[in-house]
Amino acid sequence: MSAGGGTKLPERLGTIELEEISLESGRGLRRAPQAYAIYGDRDTAKDNAVLVCHALTGSHRLAGEDLPGQPRPWWTPLVGPGKALDTAKLCVICVNVLGSPYGSASPLSPDPATGDPYRMSFPLVTVRDMVRAQRATLERLGVRHLRAVVGGSLGAMQALEWLATCPDFVDGGVFLAGPLALYPQAIAFNEVQRRAIQADPAWMEGNYPPGEGPHKGLAVARMMATITYRSEQSFVGRWKREMAQGDPLDWGGTFQVESYLHHQGEELVRRFDANCYLYLTRAMDLHDVQRQRDDDDLRRAFEGKPVMGVGVSSDLLFPNWQVQEAVRSLTRWGAEASYDEIESDHGHDAFLIHADQVDEMIRRFFIQTLS
């Protein structure tokens, strides 16, 4: 296990290997790695742990400082002594999801049967599969119980699945900017992104060499995704119709918003894998907490559970009404469910941007329900 971290915030990074994972598809993974990060006193993990679930292109590196060869942490302002995820009282854990390029089993991993990367022979995974693999990982780490599970976007889907799949393991949870099931428009956005990747000749049916691949297609996919992560208000507030360079009456002219999208695409290409992007967006499409569960199953899972849903006022990707609808369903199934909202013009990404609002909401949830 390696160690690193930000100022006064110990961070323990590690990887364990699960001998076998059974998937919803009927297929399985053997010798499947699971990368994780731990913040706080590991000795408290058995009975005072919180799991935080990351979003699409995030990783297990929840907090800390930038480290060479490691993904960039994404929620540092919320983790540490005295913060919402208080490492003076809690052991905070984040596990990299199946399908991610950041250390867990994915299309980049070697197939034990051949020794070659799985690439597109990697089995499709679901959010439910991710949760079951995370539970197995926590059990290997000696964790037998979670005080709460917290996550935003794809992480919110995991948090909801945790509560439905492992009600015996977790006391309650917070899901931010994520729905009970993915709606058709979000599936449509994901499909356009996948088609951009697959239309790039460098994709080669997924058989591109390591370090290479459909960089142009992946960049376009990220540009499309970025539009859904922001809002009209945020674009207007930052740039309106400002030019970044050149003459608008010449093809070399570039609007500021175009330049921003190009930058976002280029940044993702430097740190993410195209096949992994295909698998993770498909896992999001398949997300549906009610799939293969009736109301009685869901009541047994959610009865008496404290759960808070947090929407974003300007969210285009997962509008706040979808979070509100999830809270109403959870209430119907017997959960002690509440709703709060991030007031922001920044769109879906507000749960990553407005750390002050999110800190206050999570802190209040813990005080009111888990203290």
| Catalytic sites, residue numbers | 153, 315, 348
DSSP three-state, residue 174: strand
Residues 73, 95: Cα–Cα separation, whole Å: 13
In order of 246, 247, 354, the CA distances from 252 in angstroms are 6, 7, 35
Residues 362, 45: Cα–Cα separation, whole Å: 19
Sheet holding 306-312, edge to edge: 2-6, 9-22, 28-39, 91-95, 49-53, 146-152, 173-176, 306-312, 336-342
DSSP three-state, residue 47: coil
**Which of 80, 78, 62, 82 has the alpha carbon at shortest distance from 70?**
62
In order of 37, 67, 79, 99, 158, the CA distances from 166 in angstroms are 21, 33, 25, 21, 11
Exposed/middle/buried for residue 101 (C-beta within 10 Å: 0-12, 13-18, 19+) = buried
- The answer to whether 17 and 29 have CB atoms below 8 angstroms apart is no
Provide CB contacts within 8 A for 357, sequence distance 6+. Answer: 342, 343, 344
In order of 6, 242, 313, the CA distances from 198 in angstroms are 38, 33, 34
SS (H, E, C) 258-324: HHHHHHHHHHHHHHCCHHHHHHHHHHHHCCECCCCCCHHHHHHHHCCCEEEEEEECCCCCCCHHHHH
